Amino acid sequence: DAGITQSPRHKVTETGTPVTLRCHQTENHRYMYWYRQDPGHGLRLIHYSYGVKDTDKGEVSDGYSVSRSKTEDFLLTLESATSSQTSVYFCAISELGSSSGANVLTFGAGSRLTVL
């Protein structure tokens, strides 16, 4: 299996509290992504990173921030969680950038977040 782990796998929190999800990879891949998956929607990109300290916004970045201080770790932070952020969050990694053709993503097992 690809070395990508997410933590925590499950979290229940209250509205207004900060939450940080962690993605850790042992593949030394340059590219890392955070997606959310909700029923009836396709995967939606929140933020991505193309190197240490190099990050950019995806299509649903409002309310989220990220940090990548090491190649292996990509953190997703919800500064003040809202009920609309209840979702399953997937981290993904890829060796190649999107413009390199078959940019195959390897996903982590997901983090299920419930905001009450």
Partner 1 sequence: GQNIDQPTEMTATEGAIVQINCTYQTSGFNGLFWYQQHAGEAPTFLSYNVLDGLEEKGRFSSFLSRSKGYSYLLLKELQMKDSASYLCAVMDSNYQLIWGAGTKLIIKP
DSSP-derived 3-state class of residue 67: strand
* Minimum gap (Å) between residue 30 Cβ and partner 1: 15
Q: Could you please report the per-residue DSSP string of 80-111? A: S--GGG-EEEEEEEESS-GGGS----EE---E
| The two structure tokens encoding residue 91 | 């981290």
* Minimum gap (Å) between residue 18 Cβ and partner 1: 25
Contact characters 94-113, partner 1, x per CB under 8 A: ---xxx-xxxxxxxxxx---
Check residue 34 for interaction with partner 1 (CB under 8 A): no
Q: How far, in Å, CA of 44 to CA of 59, rounded? A: 7
- Of 63 and 112, the one with the shorter C-beta distance to partner 1 is 112
Check residue 44 for interaction with partner 1 (CB under 8 A): yes
Check residue 114 for interaction with partner 1 (CB under 8 A): no
